[in-house]
Amino acid sequence: MSIDQPTLFPSPGRPGSMSAPVAALGPLSARSSLTAAVSGFHGYMIRQGFSENTVKAFMGDLRLLMKYISPNSNISRISTHDLENFLTWILSERGTPCSPKSYARRLTTLKVFFKWLHDTDVIASDPAAPIAHQPVSTPLPQILYDNEVERLLRYSRDLLWARKPDARPYVLVSLILQTAIKKSECMGIKLEHIDSSDPRSPVLYVRYPMARMRHKERKLVLAPQFLQVMRQYIAQYKPETHLFECTARNLEYVLGDVGELAGIEQKSVSFEALRWTAAVRDYRTGMAPEQLRKKLGLSQISWRETGLKIRQLAGPAL
């Protein structure tokens, strides 16, 4: 998948495995076991491009369900009452703490799983549908204010012409603010992923080496000015394959140091903070939510909470 955006930001028995389903499957029916249904759902998530973290979390939740409800149970016989009892068990009777966030995610897992079974006509009714869903949100992420972004860019730009020039801070800061990429995506950038054939509209291709992650690949526009600074950086650091041939921890130190230089002391200048900042700035400048979702490389499920937080951060004070 690629999208242009405007200028500126169980291997078997192994929990969470992204490989083969837990059992060989024939077509599912109302008489299928819970085990078979969970296996089919695993395959469905892979085909639909669910993120690796989502697949791991959902499969872990469903394995927990199979500790309460027999894996051999006929799926058509699982009722709303059974699911409510299961939720009560994990919340107060299991003996292991269940945070509000984990509880909300496990309820989401049940709703997505049983809705899939109902939508595909495997079961006649959805037993999870009547259960009230009260999602628990995590705190709003920290972002940089516009004046802080300006200071960060100004001080990192000053390093380009310092007595001992260093182009890396400005390349790193400006790249994240333009593209809103994650730390892992930044570390994966190869020199060949940056298309400078049209100097007026350079492009970054976000690539993934694993086939199951290809749905997250995308095409992001860079500012024309970025190329000149990138050339200075390449001449200085002489990377051979990847744009940043150092550890992710080193880049976190770079961000922290330039944040301190810019006088941003009460906030952490990090990949996460800059990614959120970039997303909020894009939203404020009118980027459509669906385009922003694709720019961030998020699934529809991940976008639900992320999109809400971006709207809250970008909106007027209450």
Phi, psi angles (nearest 5°) of residue 142: -85, 135
pLDDT at position 175 over 70: yes
pLDDT digits (tens, 9 = 90+) for 32-48: 999 999 999 999 999 98
> What pLDDT sits at residue 278?
98
Residues 58 and 48: their CA atoms lie apart, in Å, by 14
The Cα 32–Cα 75 span in angstroms is 6
**β-pair partners for 194:** 204
Q: For residue 21, how far is the Cα from the chain centroid?
A: 23
Q: At what angle do helices 146-158 and 168-179 cross, to 10 degrees?
A: 150
> What distance in Å separates the CA atoms of residue 313 and residue 270, rounded to the nearest whole number?
18
CA count, 13 A, side-chain hemisphere, 137: 12
Quickly state the pLDDT bin for 134 (edges 50, 70, 90): low
Which of 142, 139, 146 has the alpha carbon at shortest distance from 281? 146
**pLDDT band per the 50, 70, 90 thresholds, residue 72:** very high
| 271 touches 22 (CB < 8 A) | no
257: enclosing H helix or E strand: helix 248-261
pLDDT surpasses 90 at 9: no
Q: What is the mean pLDDT of the segment spanning 156-172? A: 96
- Residue with the larger pLDDT of the pair 24 and 158: 158
Mean pLDDT of 55-84: 95
Average pLDDT of the chain is 88
Domains with residue ranges and CATH for the chain: 10-136 (1.10.150.130), 146-314 (1.10.443.10)
pLDDT at 170: 98
Query: In percent, how much of the chain has pLDDT > 70?
Result: 90
**pLDDT number for residue 137:** 60
User: What is d(CA 141, CA 278) in angstroms, rounded to the nearest whole number?
Assistant: 12
pTM > 0.95: yes or no: no
Residue 318: pLDDT band with limits 50, 70, 90? low
pLDDT for 26: 66
| Pairwise CA distance, residues 238 & 38, whole Å | 50
The DSSP symbol for 136 reads: -
Average pLDDT, integer, range 292-299: 93
pLDDT given at position 92: 79
DSSP character string of 269-301: --HHHHHHHHHHHHHHTT--HHHHHHHHT--HH
Can you give the pLDDT at residue 39?
A: 94
